[in-house]
Amino acid sequence: MKKIKGIIAIILSIVFVFSSSIIGFAQNASDSRYVAGRIAILGKNGKYFDHIAYANTNPDLLALYGYDKAALWNHYVTCGVYENRIVYTQNLDVAIALVGYDMLLEVTKPGMSDAEVARAIHDVIVDSTVFDMSYYTNNGNVWATSTSKEGVIMMGMATCGGYADAYSFLCSLAGLQCETVVGTAVDMYGNPGGHEWNRVMIDGQWLYVDCLYDDPITNDGSKMCLHDYCLVPEAAINVNHVAQKTKKPYKAR
């Protein structure tokens, strides 16, 4: 996962400089969820599919179809996706969705319960993300990506808002009803301040998740994935979290 994110970060830097396409890397197409999910994310009739880049990186297809978008899209959905050909898009939100969906498929499998999926999403976020310490070292000024799902999914670094946004987003891709909770909490230095976390509907009840609080900053920089704030009841989260409002940024698929 770290290697993948490093590649994605490099690709993004190239995109911003040269206006090139963003790559949504290929994965194991033997998983039917992968095929259906990827095609759906790319939009009806390949709305977000960059056919120019697809043709340029597949000389055999360029020779057959030239830059005919309809023909190239038809090839991708009938053959290319099963052949693990790399797909391209120029839409950042779509690229984030493609990478996020691949993250989801890495840690889930058919037949898992909602609780198992919700826990797996918590774990992959914690395992693949570090807190943006510039929040403390730069007077609260952080990377723009750190406050959204982009920070977690594309860069591997975020603040509480990024952790919570990514959790809501990945839950939506998994078909889970999830909301972001906005309020206050006590930080690692014992100071109360603004904070964001999540609640997810599991078996008819809201359970609470705080990925950031389960991702402690260690002295040696090693990663830990705790479960102290993973699928806990409201009474447990309320011990040191005070909710002010909830928001539902994404609709479950």
Residue 96, phi then psi, degrees to nearest 5 = -60, -40
One domain, residues 23 and 139: no
**Do the domain assignments include residue 167?**
yes
One domain, residues 126 and 161: yes
The pTM (predicted TM-score) of the whole model is 0.86
Domain boundary among 47, 74, 105: 105
Say what the pLDDT of residue 4 is: 44
Domain that holds residue 49: 2-105
Say what the pLDDT of residue 11 is: 40
Token digits for 136?
């403390």
Say what the pLDDT of residue 80 is: 93
Return averaged pLDDT per consecutive 10 residues of the chain, 253 residues in all: 43 38 56 85 96 96 98 96 91 94 93 97 97 76 86 95 97 96 87 94 98 89 92 96 93 80
Say what the pLDDT of residue 9 is: 40
Say what the pLDDT of residue 21 is: 53
Radius of gyration of the chain (CA): 19
Return the closest-CA partner of residue 151 out of 173, 178, 171, 169. 169
One domain, residues 45 and 71: yes
**Do the domain assignments include residue 199?**
yes
**Do the domain assignments include residue 22?**
yes
Domain boundary among 61, 86, 105: 105
One domain, residues 72 and 138: no
Say what the pLDDT of residue 103 is: 94
**Do the domain assignments include residue 55?**
yes
With contact defined as beta carbons under 8 Å apart, do 244 and 156 qualify?
Answer: no
**Do the domain assignments include residue 253?**
no
Please report, for the domain that includes residue 235, its CATH number. Answer: 3.10.620.30
Domain boundary among 58, 89, 105: 105
**Number of independent structural domains in the chain:** 2
Bridge partners, residue 28, by sequence: none
